[in-house]
Amino acid sequence: MAEMEILGARISDLDMVETVCALAAYIDVGRQQNTADAMMHHIVTLNAEILYKAQTDERLMKIINNAALVTADGSGIVLAARELCGKEIERVTGIDLMQELCRQSAACGWSIYLLGAAPGVAEAAAKNLQEQYGTIICGWHDGYFSETEQAWVIGEINEKKPDILLVALGAPRQEFWIEDNQDRLRVPLVIGVGGCFDVISGNIKRAPLAFQRMGLEWLWRLIKEPWRYKRMLALPKFVLLVKREARRKHAQMAESVRRNVRRKNADDNKKR
């Protein structure tokens, strides 16, 4: 798997087509396994806010690094890949990935279960996906269930035998939920997709293409949902962290070059 390390997290540098091919392989492998934990492949769609949080949250970082695949959901991750790894990568956002899988669902025979968002939202998203792409939706449930209802929800998911479970409880709640229940879920592919059902159901409008292309989707969300500003303060902090790490890496590289030159000069002097 092609991946790079950014601020302690392993992140895939696959583009959308390659990612969907990798996920197709996970579904095939998962379908052949017998035990729940061997069967499940957890996919994280990672943005700067969550990676910043993971710097001080060991459990979250562990979940990210144990995932089968981590995609670059936000432009902050794309920037970090450029600054720290010298790589130009494509953003593979949760919503684009979800739509791509839903588009491929009928042709590939993948059934999908939607879990999350307020009552009625997953159902509306399911209807839209069925109408738009002919997606095979085998069930849905809202994301507001109690501890006691949870066993029933997981039982229902397993009974419906989805190939893909999309969990929209918001990040990082959904990542913790997936990890907590990985031994109970009998699903080959489980993906945390944040607030995607709100967008696909039509409740919330996604940023216009111009914003998406300029990597300014975060600005659109800030304009539309200003109460997010507190969470979004993580973004400038993340950029500062990336810049600091880039300077540290460059200094380390320069020091290593200087050391090699000194060693070579010393060897040359000895030979003379």
Whichever of 27 and 125 has its CB closer to ligand UDP, that residue is 125
Alpha-carbon distance of 222 to 231, in angstroms, equals: 10
Binding site for ligand UDP (CB under 6 A): 116-118, 143-144, 168-171, 173, 194-195, 197-198
In DSSP terms, which residues pair with 73 in a beta bridge? none
Contact between 218 and 74 (Cβ < 8 Å): yes
Shortest reach from residue 252's CB to ligand UDP, in Å: 34
Tell how strand 3-6 and strand 9-12 pair up: antiparallel
CA dist 168 and 253 (Å) reads: 41
Q: How far is the CB of 106 from ligand UDP (least distance, A)?
A: 25
Q: Please, what is the minimum distance in Å from the beta carbon of residue 37 to ligand UDP?
A: 24
Q: Give 118 or 254: the residue with its C-beta nearer to ligand UDP.
A: 118
Residues 6+ apart with CB under 8 A from 238: 48, 49, 51, 52, 76, 80
CB of 107 to ligand UDP, least distance (A): 28
Using CB positions, name the residue nearest to ligand UDP: 143
Closer to ligand UDP by Cβ: residue 133 or 176: 176
Residue 14 or 114: which CB sits closer to ligand UDP? 114
Contact indicator for 77, 125 with CB cutoff of 8 Å: no
